[in-house]
Chain A
């Protein structure tokens, strides 16, 4: 098989991986600060995807334009969810937290099924079928726009956590919960804000994902699993790790699909996960816990 095929597939894998990375970033942020493992992550992304689809089908609003408003809606959703439902479980045993978010995931999937039905919904933008030709490489326009937006959102998030007071306060909560309480930080509010930021990330990722794939209610659990593979590979709690993990998994799946058989590409993604757990349990960019 010619080199062109590998190049084309690798580019597509990297672009998709960047959007995966943004999705996983939300999971990583939530776990890194709140220490809740959000098993409803993919399902929350499905909600954002459906919002994008409804806005497009009713008002013809392009997902790229609706990126920020949908992320804002998911921010509010995340805040309310954390403040109203998850915060009371923060001090409870992990299995209680697990059951809570798994129940939430099941409710979301079935609510979407009741509201929208099982059929795949899609966003048909004017550029849905466009592609750019760079020599032998054909680049999917939708994937390119989605990946570019993922990079911008991720950069904004890095900036927020590094340079703003609020971002620093959230990091302080993550580093030392008791210390944060002692210096007078409103930890519950900051937790809710963090969960909201994670939800906004997944909202942005979901909005862009509608450019790449169709949405069905059953999509959520698959994306939750994918997000876990990515953050564990990249490093649980590490923001750059999520993006690196996303690209690595996207690229691995793409190349494995060409070299071997596409039906086994997920196996290679899980293979990477197993290798990381064996040789670098904290993930590629994660910190080893002492």
Chain B
């Protein structure tokens, strides 16, 4: 104590030190007083309301998305992003419940929303978010209307139905050229939820533009909660098409495959626009019968450096579950939120929305050129790939940069698989 007092009161250097200390201290104090909100915001985690169908008929897909959400905070923190606090809301696979849960999460303090896998549920959450002025980052939902409403607080990295279809048509032509097989007739079998209907409308609208070589001889729709697809498959079989185009989810793709086998019909090609046929449970449930379908879907780019990190995190947290598109896009929604929070330096909804609008993430993991948003809040850089199930795994057929196999067309008959 005595030494300190001596140093502060004697000598010129000591006096200069004190003045500088005072100025520096005053400046630091002024900075703290001038920006209390920033410090407080970065000190406490961003409250992210996650809305997913974790029960009800879409629960399987909702839980997959949840896995992508749950592994995100620790990965993001290891990458230098600020902490995110997750507030979960179960939409129960219902549009009405989704709206109610969105309002509840906001009233409980959620500063940003993420969700909601299903286009119908996502649409109503977007309305609530816009009304309340809370940023909403869509993880998975393809209906294009969501980002066509002029919303200021709604952002989506996942490709829209027209984007998926556009990629699918372009890749299909490449596929026909590689195989030397061009189907003249197809049957389009699809689920009639918001996603399936959006895809169906898109196909009708976009096919002439892409001058596809085939005609759709029958369009067969079915309910998302269908327990039996024998009628649907019987109708498709009766049309005897050159290929079957499908838009399905997981359970219906399993039911459909079983019916194809039981009705002793192996289409020359099954071209799936959307998920279902590519998911882990499909491969595990059907074993050798899962081989053959070709799937146009957004997916992880194996060549991006975040992908193996995500893959390892999923494998560590959930034994026996492989990385899928739901994990990837749900994680990327969290990445978008964390990136915006870091740059905004604040949890203020308007500041967060502004920060999201200027997002430019190149180190992501999905196929495409990274994450940034246009004036409508849509990421136009997201792209689809083409995969084929073989031996219980997916091989990549397109885009060329990521391809590691050539397509097998026609499919091996189900009846000759032993």
Which residues of A are in contact with B by a Cβ distance under 8 Å?
1-2, 5, 8-9, 12-13, 16, 109-110, 113, 117-120, 122, 124, 128-131, 133, 138, 140-141, 212-214, 216-219, 222, 253-254, 257-258, 261-263, 265-266
Contact = CB atoms under 8 A, between A and B. Distances in A.
A8 B192 contact: no
A265 B54 contact: no
Contacts of B225: 222
Contact of B289 (A129, A213, A253): A129
A113 B238 CA distance: 38
Contacts of A138: 262-264
Interface of B: 54-57, 59-60, 62-63, 93, 192, 220-223, 225-232, 234-235, 238, 250-251, 254-255, 258, 261-264, 281, 285, 289, 414
Contacts of B56: 218
Contacts, number: 107
Contacts of A5: 234-235, 238
B59 to A, nearest CB: 3
Contacts of A216: 57, 59-60, 251
B263 A263 contact: no
State the main secondary structure of chain B at its contact with A.
helix
A5 B223 CA distance: 21
Contacts of B285: 120, 122, 124
Contact of B231 (A113, A212, A262): A262
B221 A261 contact: yes
A265 B227 contact: no
A3 to B, nearest CB: 11
A120 B254 CA distance: 10
B55 A257 contact: no
Contacts of B255: 213-214
B15 to A, nearest CB: 71
12 contacts: A2-B238, A5-B235, A118-B55, A129-B289, A133-B264, A212-B228, A216-B60, A216-B251, A258-B234, A261-B221, A262-B229, A263-B192
Contacts of B228: 12, 16, 212-213
A119 B281 contact: yes
Contact of A262 (B54, B59, B60, B221): B221
Nearest to B226: A262
In the A-B complex, the 6 residue pairs with the smallest Cβ-Cβ separation, listed nearest first, are: A118-B59, A257-B231, A263-B221, A129-B261, A263-B192, A12-B230
B232 A262 contact: yes
Contacts of B231: 9, 12-13, 253-254, 257-258, 262, 265
A135 to B, nearest CB: 14
Contacts of B55: 109-110, 113, 118, 217-218
A120 B59 CA distance: 10
B223 A140 contact: no
B251 A118 contact: no
Given A214-B251, A263-B222, A257 B235 contact: yes
Given A110-B55, A118-B62, A213 B262 contact: no
B59 A140 contact: no
A24 to B, nearest CB: 15
Given A118-B59, A119-B281, A261-B220, A129 B258 contact: yes
A116 to B, nearest CB: 11
Contacts of B192: 263
Given A2-B238, A217-B55, A9 B63 contact: no
B263 A128 contact: no
A219 to B, nearest CB: 8
Given A131-B264, A222-B225, A261-B220, A8 B254 contact: no
Contacts of A261: 220-221
A57 to B, nearest CB: 12
B60 A214 contact: no
Nearest to B224: A263
Contacts of A266: 223
A9 B234 contact: yes
A263 B223 contact: yes
A131 B415 CA distance: 11
Which has the most chain B C-beta neighbours within 10 Å: A8, A119, A124, A131? A119
A178 B222 CA distance: 50
Given A120-B251, A129-B262, A217-B55, A262 B62 contact: no
B220 A262 contact: yes
Contact of A258 (B62, B235, B258, B261): B235
Contact of A128 (B54, B63, B258): B258
A120 B222 contact: no
Contacts of A129: 258, 261-262, 289, 414
A266 B231 CA distance: 13
